[in-house]
Amino acid sequence: MSVLAKFTEKFNAVNDVYLSLLADIDSSETNLRIALFFIAFNPTFWNIVARLEYKTHFITKIAGSAKRGCYLLAFTIFSLGLVRDFYFHRALDFQPTSTLLDSDAVRAAGIACLATGQVLVVTSMYQLGVTGTYLGDYFGILMDNIVTAFPFNVSANPMYQGSTLSFLGTSLLYGKAAGLFATVMVNLMYTLALKFEEPFTAAIYAKRDAEKAKKSS
């Protein structure tokens, strides 16, 4: 068999799997649509609101202090996450189970992904605290040093990567192709969010360091 023929065979096999999984998604189901909405809305919301806070301090003014303002935003983001997760799990209940994903091996992989994801999320929150996790730097609440302890020594963005793994693990555990599609959306939105967050956060700390250097000179 020629190289081209082998490539075509493998491509067709992958394409068959893709089409089979796609056929197992009920795209008209309301809970799935709501879950996908919040998957896209949540990171968009917190990036816009955090930028506005940095420029206008409107949440700080409403709450009375930067710390209370950050806690208010943290509560809002956490609540939106609960709503997203509620509709995601509810969507999985109404979605058909894919025959390709209905196996003990897939479920075991799902448990492993889910456990790893939860460890990354919980330990990153422990290391950063509430203000470090929920955009405290936009409120002027900056950390003294870069966190390098676990999980940051194994993952550049453990919160986002852990959340993505949790979505993936849950989808595999329940054998839902719709969950895999939602996981792709989660990863896409987090990737886009990081493109806005990372350079902006770096600029905030660079400004802080420049001001410190100016004062010490």
Alpha helices, DSSP H only, in the chain? 3-23, 30-56, 58-63, 66-94, 104-133, 158-174, 177-216
Q: Which residues of 169-202 are buried (b: 16+ CB within 10 A; e: fewer)?
A: bbbbbbbbbbbbbbbeebbebbeebeeebeeebe
User: Binding residue per annotation — 198?
Assistant: yes
User: Binding residue per annotation — 140?
Assistant: no
User: Binding residue per annotation — 117?
Assistant: yes
Contacts of 208 (CB under 8 A, 6+ apart): 142
User: Binding residue per annotation — 164?
Assistant: no
What is the DSSP code (8-state) at residue 97? P
Do 72 and 58 form a contact (C-beta atoms < 8 A)?
no
Contacts of 213 (CB under 8 A, 6+ apart): none
Residue type, 135: L
User: Binding residue per annotation — 29?
Assistant: no
Rounded to 5°, the CA angle 149-196-89 comes to: 75
User: Residues annotated as binding site for S-adenosyl-L-methionine?
Assistant: 115-117, 197-198
